[in-house]
Amino acid sequence: MNPSRHELILGGAKSGKSRTAEARASRWLAEGDDRRATLVATALPGAVTGDAEMDQRIARHRADRAARVPRLQTIEAADDLGSTLQRLADPRQLIVVDCLTLWLTQLLMPPAGRVPSPALWHHERVALLAALRDSPTPVVLVSNEIGLGVLPLSREARDFVDTLGLLHQAVAGLCGRVTLMVAGCELTVKDAP
């Protein structure tokens, strides 16, 4: 595996992360008719979380993606992200994961009726990193950079910020390119030859 094929795109809310990842997929698809691209959406639907507004966001994102990148297939994988990446592995395919922040949130702070499990989080983290390390498939991962603000007051929030930051470091170590999005502008943080 050539880790320079992977990219981590970080940024704040509405910074242009998802649109940039979609542009990567569009460019990939334009390079050959035999190429495929799949977006792995990690958000749990409102039926699971009780959040009707999330369902509206998911529907809007689906419609926007379909208009911008018609050949980009979408699958939902709120759990088992590592095994999903392994299952989709194919050098002719690009995978976009949108987003690691929601994935982590749902594992560490699951909706009502689900119990958080540190053992499950550890297993999922190991599986994700192994899938990235071993993948013949280029993967573009989207995540929120939330560690730039004020230190949160609650222990749970501080733990989440720390865990997400450590996940970003581990994922960035397996990516040849790391991009920070600010107000729709791309800043290259890392670009391995």
Nearest Cα to Cα of residue 65 among 39, 32, 45 = 39
**Is 63 marked within a binding site?**
yes
User: Is 113 a residue whose pLDDT tops 90?
Assistant: no
pTM confidence score: 0.93
Greatest C-alpha distance within the chain: 51
How far apart are the C-alpha atoms of 104 and 115, rounded to whole Å? 14
Active-site residues: which are they?
A: 61
Q: Which domains does the chain have, with CATH numbers?
A: 3-191 (3.40.50.300)
165 annotated among ligand-binding-site residues? no
Q: Is it true that the peptide bond before 99 is cis, omega within 30 degrees of 0?
A: yes
Q: Identify the helix (H) or strand (E) that includes residue 49.
A: helix 46-49
Q: How far apart are CA 164 and CA 192, in angstroms?
A: 23
Query: pLDDT tens, 46-86?
Result: 666 677 888 888 888 888 888 889 899 999 887 899 999 99
Average pLDDT of the chain to the nearest whole number:
91
Question: 82 labelled as ligand-binding?
Answer: no
Could you read off the pLDDT of 149-183 as tens digits, one per residue?
887 789 888 999 999 999 999 999 999 999 999 99
